[in-house]
Structures are given as C-alpha cells and as structure tokens.
Chains A and B, each alone.
Chain A
Amino acid sequence: DTAVSQTPKYLVTQMGNDKSIKCEQNLGHDTMYWYKQDSKKFLKIMFSYNNKELIINETVPNRFSPKSPDKAHLNLHINSLELGDSAVYFCASSLLRGPLHFGNGTRLTVT
C-alpha cells in the first residue's frame, strides 16, 4: 500500500564507495524527484524526471547519477562517496500541479 517507497532506509558506507538508492511509486504520477536534506534539515531539490526524461538537474556533482527505467521508478546512484554526501535523501512523486508525495527517506552515512 506504500505510495512512494525507497530502499534502503539506512545506508552506512565508507568514503570512495559507490552506492545506489532505489525508489518506486505506485500512485501513477508522471514526475519523480530526488531531494537532499542536510544535517541542518534543509531540503533541496537535486533532480526531477517526467516520464523517464530528466527535467530538473540542479547543481549537483556529477558523481550523482539518477536513472529512471520507467515512470514508476527513479534510482539514485552515487559514485566515489565523500563525507559531505552524508544526508537524508528523499524520493518524491507528483502530478504536475499536485503536491509532492515523499518516501520515508534514506539516511546515508559516509565514514
């Protein structure tokens, strides 16, 4: 029944590693997003996809690569993880003029 689900909930890894976060939505929305919430709770958009097409790409290091195999899925792959990448990453989806529906977040800790 979960509308937007992302896995894993927690991710602890060492610097230099590569990791992925998966996201799936069953709401039938065309648009999906990745947001980053830093240690001060500030939320900032990273990417947005509409029906598998990249629409929004904020100033994000190119170590971060989103991939959308279909409109219900948007994964985030991060290469060469750095300490500063530690944050909570939220996936979300929406209809164009609707509110965003968020997943429960993935807490990434880089040691």
Chain B
Amino acid sequence: AQTVTQSQPEMSVQEAETVTLSCTYDTSESDYYLFWYKQPPSRQMILVIRQEAYKQQNATENRFSVNFQKAAKSFSLKISDSQLGDAAMYFCARSLYTGTASKLTFGTGTRLQVTL
C-alpha cells in the first residue's frame, strides 16, 4: 500500500519558537507532489506548502519550510517563529496523477499546540 505516515500525533511549541513536524511516505512512482495542509478548529483545509518531487530545492513559504529527502521518502515541515494562529491539525499528503485527476493520500495528522 502506498501510504503517508505522520508519527507524531501531537506536538507542542512555545510562541516564537521553531517546531518540526515529521512525515514519511511510500511510493513507487517518480512523478508526484507533496503537500502540507493545515486544518484549524474551523475545519477549513488550508494549503501551507507544496513540493514537486522532481525539484531538489526545498520549498519555502514565509515562516514555513520543508526538508525534502527524496531517497529517504521524508518530507518534514518546519514552522519558524510560531504564532498562536499556527495551532491546528497539520496533514501531510502525497499526490499521484491518474491522467486527468490527482489522487491525494493523507497522513493521519499532527495536532500542533502553541503555548505562550
């Protein structure tokens, strides 16, 4: 089975500190994308960052960056200068393409708490 694994059910970080959320995935495909989505209590699914598998350079979006290790099939998310608004469930996801659709497989999520 081609799975996505998030081994940290919960993480906690102090405001202004840095936290890293782990994700590993399994795939035999060479053409795929990786994503981190955030789901706050409002339950909206918000795209945080994405990484194309063919790109070696790690993606960065403001305070969010990834460490993409393709050989190890690892895709961790680093949040710098954590803010109270970062508190949410974070889902790692891997997409595969079926020609005309993208099949996104999600991990089980990591609940991030941000403390004062």
Contacts and interface: CB of A to CB of B under 8 A. Distances in A.
Interface of B: 33, 35, 39, 42-45, 47, 50, 89, 91, 97-106, 108-109
Interface string A62-103: 000000000000000000000000001010101011111110
A41 B108 contact: yes
Contact of A50 (B33, B100, B105, B109): B100
A42 B101 contact: no
A97 B43 contact: no
Given A42-B106, A107-B43, 15 more contacts: A30-B100, A33-B104, A41-B89, A41-B108, A43-B91, A44-B106, A45-B104, A48-B101, A92-B45, A94-B102, A96-B101, A97-B97, A99-B47, A99-B50, A105-B44
**Chain A residues touching B, majority SS:** strand
B108 A40 contact: yes
